């Protein structure tokens, strides 16, 4: 604006930055340049270090004509997002085609990605220090193939994570009478390796049952 022409304009900012495993608060400033073609308009640019974790404060200081004026930036402090580099292990990449990766954070919208292999692109800009949970679903969303709770997201850093995957196993059970004919409505119970009941049977009219071990579901 014309009323601010001919003054000295400086932007000052305070931020936090990683030094080893500690976040250290620092400050910096930049003298802005007044545009000759637009008196009262000042311009400048700066880049934050990749190790910055938070932009804490920022203000514009105008001096000249025997007075000083400070203008504070709004909506600060602002945390720098964290990143996750995720790889799924234990199964061939082709077994994960179409699986649904979903990431949940307490105060933000969930993120979902359809897999084409066992490696995701870098997930960037995650809210740091939030409760974070990762779930991998089958393409039909019926079963979980992997789950990881309590994922740590640190501001301005990339965490590399390997998550083991368990593929659902399918089975069919056919109960026959002494004449070799299917017998319906015979309960079938399944236990896992820890002797815990896995599924509740759903009788079928043909005497056959299909199910997914570990999913707590049997389909007729």
pLDDT for residue 117: 85
pLDDT for residue 108: 80
Beta bridge partners of 36: none
Residue 189, burial from CB neighbour count under 10 angstroms (0-12, 13-18, 19+)? exposed
pLDDT for residue 76: 93
Neighbours of 7 (CB within 10 A): 17
> What is the sign, positive or negative, of the torsion defined by CA atoms of 140, 146, 147, 153?
negative
pLDDT tens series, the chain, 220 aa: 445 778 899 999 999 999 999 999 999 999 999 898 888 889 999 988 888 999 999 999 999 877 888 999 999 999 999 999 999 999 999 999 999 999 999 878 789 999 988 888 899 989 998 889 999 999 988 889 999 999 999 999 999 999 999 887 767 777 888 888 888 877 777 777 777 776 543 444 333 333 333 333 333 3
HSE value, Cβ hemisphere, 13 Å, CA-based, for 115: 24
Please report where in the chains the tokens 């007075």 appear, as a residue: 67
Neighbours of 1 (CB within 10 A): 8
pLDDT for residue 182: 86
* Residue 219 contacts residue 204 (beta carbons within 8 Å): no
pLDDT for residue 215: 35
pLDDT for residue 212: 39
pLDDT for residue 104: 94
Please report where in the chains the tokens 């043909």 appear, as a residue: 206
Q: What is the DSSP string of 105-138?
A: ETTEEEEEEE-SSSBPPPEEEEPTTS-EEEEEE-
206 vs 189: CA distance, rounded Å: 18
pLDDT for residue 3: 55
pLDDT for residue 106: 82
* Residue 143 contacts residue 137 (beta carbons within 8 Å): yes
The pTM score is 0.64
Q: Which residues contact 55 (CB under 8 A, 6 or more apart)?
A: 13, 15, 48, 76, 77, 78, 80
pLDDT for residue 100: 95
pLDDT for residue 200: 44
């Amino acid at each position: 604006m014309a009323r601010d022409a001919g003054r000295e304009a400086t932007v000052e900012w305070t931020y936090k930055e990683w030094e080893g495993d500690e976040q250290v608060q620092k400050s910096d400033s930049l003298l802005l340049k007044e545009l000759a073609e637009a008196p009262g308009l000042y311009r400048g640019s700066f880049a934050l270090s990749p190790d910055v974790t938070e932009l804490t404060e920022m203000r514009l200081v105008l001096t000249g004509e025997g007075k000083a004026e400070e203008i504070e930036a709004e909506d600060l402090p602002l945390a720098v997002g964290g990143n996750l580099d995720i790889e799924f292990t234990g199964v061939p990449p082709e077994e994960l085609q179409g699986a649904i990766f979903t990431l949940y954070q307490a105060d933000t919208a969930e993120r979902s990605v359809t897999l084409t292999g066992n490696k995701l692109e870098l997930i960037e800009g995650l809210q740091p220090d939030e409760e974070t949970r990762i779930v991998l679903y089958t393409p039909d969303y019926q079963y979980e193939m992997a789950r990881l709770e309590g994922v740590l997201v640190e501001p301005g850093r990339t965490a590399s994570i390997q998550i083991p995957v368990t593929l659902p196993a399918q089975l069919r059970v056919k109960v026959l009478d002494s004449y070799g004919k299917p017998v319906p409505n015979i309960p079938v119970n399944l236990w896992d390796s820890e002797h815990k009941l896995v599924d509740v049977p759903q009788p079928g009219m043909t005497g056959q049952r299909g199910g997914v071990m570990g999913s707590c579901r049997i389909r007729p």
